[in-house]
Chains A and B, each alone.
Chain A
Amino acid sequence: MTAETMTGAQMVVQALIDQGVDTVFGYPGGAVLPIYDEIFQQQKIKHILVRHEQGAAHAAEGYARATGKPGVVLVTSGPGATNAVTGITDALMDSIPMVVLTGQVPTFMIGSDAFQEADTVGITRPCTKMNWLVKDTDELANTIHEAFHIATHGRPGPVLVDIPKDVQFASGTYVPPQKARTEHYRPRVKGDIDRITELVAALETAERPIFYTGGGVINSGTAASQLLRELVDATGIPVTSTLMGLGAYPASGKHWVGMLGMHGLYEANWAMHDCDLMINIGARFDDRITGRIDAFSPGSRKAHIDIDPSSINKVVKTDFPIVGDVAHVLEDMLRIWKARGRKVNKPALETWWTQIEAWKAVRSLDFKNSETTIKPQHALQRLEALTRDHPKRYIATEVGQHQMWAAQYLGFDAPNRWLTSGGLGTMGYGFPASIGAQVAHPDALVINVAGEASWLMNMQEMGTAIQYDLPVKQFILNNERLGMVRQWQELLHGERYSHSWSEALPDFVKLAEAFGAKGILCKDPKDLDDAIMEMLRYDGPVIFDCLVEKHENCFPMIPSGKAHNEMLLGEAETQGVIDAKGSVLV
């Protein structure tokens, strides 16, 4: 391909096309008008007009999680960029590949406090993997290609390219992706073979091994999930997962022990506490997982497979540190394990499984159901029963109790089907994320399990759902409370419910109708199945207002500052369990 001259705005569109982008989530404004003018004159890229830039960022995240491809955001300068910051930070915390293009005031006005000027690269420096202000049109295409490369290589994350308006108008030479500057960023993907062999040797003799998998397995691609399944099923070693990693190993799989962590399953947390070999694959020993760090799995040797060297020994000291991409490392692990004779410590593993079955028998997800009030757990059990067999079901969530219940009561058999804000815990994430997933998979069943408080944070995106005929189902577990805040106030703050409920909730059915969607209200457990079926049958966006028990708490729970073996199973155990030291934690 010969050098081609075009304007900066044309370059943006050409670079996106050359990067294989089919969808952009954005919102126009003064500083991106030249780019929008180019978008208007082409057919290859679909632009989804959101209703708020935060929605664009979360929708791009949802798209990225549901496809494994980078999500692309296009917003204007100043408020356009600052509104996107929450979504960008969310993507950084959860390692979601995302490319954000922002308009900027023209270069000769930068620094003059011009209209809609903000120091976008300064503001987003700590919340992007990398960002650039492009002051020269000749550098623009190169920078955009580099941005895609960095967003998707190594540990994925958000990147941002800030493009002043005069750079969009000016002409320059287009650089195709093959000629772009990428060789300087080549993170290592192959793990050290000696260390992998040491880990395999430890795995062969371990008496109580466990795989602890995270979002890194999903990010590594579908091959990683396949290899994980093969390794788990061939060795017979139990597997647990973080919130981010659900679906990498199927919930219906024989060796699945459920999610671990603060609201994880009893058997998963006890197995983590009592194991003698912990194999962390693409997780990061987050504080939601470890609980009290000095009591975290005290008797185990720990392996940590992570593409980011800074994750290793950050929180927990690792005995088998392996830097590499999950799929590459698992491939080597499997190959070496097979070559060494497919050995495991069979008698010890049997005893270990007997112990795990005993923990399972505690049935930590049991709850007291009601004939008169819909319990949130029950609502999710019914949703699960009625949608589980759907071949293309995607679940997004907001943040709070409903999110934990969704993780507990919904099963995921495939990666990229579960979209939730784990690291940043962003209320308002789920609705736009469900839009992103639905845009990526128009024929899929996309459900956002929400709480009414979170959902209201980005409810303006109803307009987007309607405009693009996106049949997203908003399944709102409405307890008229900020449920998780309320739960913590009950446990930690003497039941003083400071500002944790809303006295002015909308009528969600009328709200749906106002936007041109369907609203369904359900408050009687007897009507629940029919109502859910009505939601599923409706070809279009639905707001499902499910009035649930207002004071339900989310269990099991590892209280702040406690260890895995100190988890609580229900209400009776909660009195005075969190001490002063624990109460400072979040």
Chain B
Amino acid sequence: MSPLNIKQGSTSHSAYNLRPTFSDVQERHTLAVVVENEAGVLARVIGLFSGRGYNIESLTVAEVDHKGHRSRITVVTTGTPQVIEQIKAQLDRMVPVHEVHDLTVEGPAVERELALFKVAGTGNERIEALRLAEIFRANVVDSTLDSFIFEITGTSQKVDAFGDLMRPLGLKEIARTGIAALSRGA
């Protein structure tokens, strides 16, 4: 064991024990970052997270305004309240970043994820997979005699739960998009 008694969470970005002890509670926040869609902008945002030791739980990005060249990055991150505030301030000061929204604190928000599951099997397992897919409102988007690809949309928890059920039924591959989120209301 290290003789250096450095507090958990205080060393997330360096060897310094510099973080004031505002709160040690780790929070999970969903941020929506609207950026100029220019070369390297995603690398810039991701580099900020890796360079300063922030967490990325999920990241989704696509151009949402083709005329205005705006992309929306939805990033799910965890950290103490102070780290979350730092992340937002650091994002906001980047030149190509137009807006930063913390959907977790700005009121209720809808979070959805899309996933594709390839499940291979025959006989009862195949029938059970199809039955469970119906319960989860997953669509069959590809079918062979011994496999399905299911498409499921929902919260990350729902996608996780579906994956857990498919695993013993012949789950072969998963592709997930990460979270897309919007605040509720107008």
Contact = CB atoms under 8 A, between A and B. Distances in A.
A287 B95 contact: no
Interface stretch (B40-48, B138-146, B162-170): B40-48
A185 B95 contact: yes
B87 to A, nearest CB: 9
Contacts of B43: 122, 125
A316 interface: yes
Contact of A129 (B16, B82, B92, B95): B95
A177 to B, nearest CB: 18
Interface in B58-112: 82, 85-86, 89-90, 92-93, 95-96, 98
A294 B21 contact: yes
Contacts of A187: 93
A29 interface: no
A185 B85 CA distance: 21
Interface residues of A, number: 32
B86 A314 contact: yes
Interface string A302-321: 00000011101111110000
Nearest to A129: B95
A317 B82 CA distance: 9
Given A309-B93, A584-B15, A317 B20 contact: yes
A293 interface: yes
A253 interface: no
Interface stretch (B3-11, B124-132, B147-155, B172-180): B3-11
A581 B51 contact: no
Contacts of B51: 126
A312 B57 CA distance: 26
B47 A581 contact: no
Contacts of B17: 293, 561, 581, 585
B135 interface: no
B39 A133 contact: yes
Contacts of A293: 17-20
Contacts of A310: 86, 89-90, 92-93
A402 to B, nearest CB: 25
Contacts of A586: 15
B21 A309 contact: no
A290 interface: yes
Which bucket holds chain B's interface residue count?
20 to 34
Nearest to A581: B4
A129 B15 CA distance: 24
Interface string A103-130: 0000000000000000001100110011
B95 A584 contact: no
Contacts of A121: 40
B26 to A, nearest CB: 18
From B20, B22, B43, B92, residue with most partner A Cβ within 10 Å: B20
Nearest to B87: A310
A504 interface: no
A150 interface: yes
A130 B89 contact: no
Contact of A313 (B6, B16, B40, B85): B85
A580 interface: yes
B95 A150 contact: yes
B65 to A, nearest CB: 15
A287 B4 contact: no
B81 to A, nearest CB: 10
Contacts of B36: 184
Contact of B95 (A130, A133, A313, A561): A130
A29 B149 CA distance: 56
A128 to B, nearest CB: 10
Nearest to B15: A584
B95 A317 contact: no
A511 B102 CA distance: 60
B166 to A, nearest CB: 39
B3 A315 contact: no
A150 B44 CA distance: 16
Contacts of A315: 18-20
Interface string A183-198: 0110100000000000
Interface in A118-167: 121-122, 125-126, 129-130, 133, 150, 154-155
Contacts of A155: 93
B47 A287 contact: no
A126 B21 CA distance: 28
A267 to B, nearest CB: 25
A155 B16 CA distance: 24
B86 to A, nearest CB: 6
A465 B20 CA distance: 47
Interface in A547-586: 561, 580-581, 584-586
A348 B109 CA distance: 52
16 contacts: A122-B40, A125-B43, A125-B47, A154-B93, A185-B95, A293-B17, A293-B18, A293-B19, A310-B90, A310-B92, A315-B19, A317-B22, A580-B3, A581-B5, A581-B17, A585-B17
Given A125-B40, A314-B86, 18 more contacts: A121-B40, A122-B43, A125-B43, A125-B44, A130-B96, A150-B95, A154-B93, A155-B93, A184-B95, A287-B16, A287-B18, A293-B17, A309-B92, A310-B89, A313-B86, A315-B18, A561-B17, A580-B3
Interface of B: 3-6, 15-22, 36, 39-40, 43-44, 47, 51, 82, 85-86, 89-90, 92-93, 95-96, 98
The 3 closest A-B pairs by CB, nearest first: A310-B89, A130-B95, A580-B3
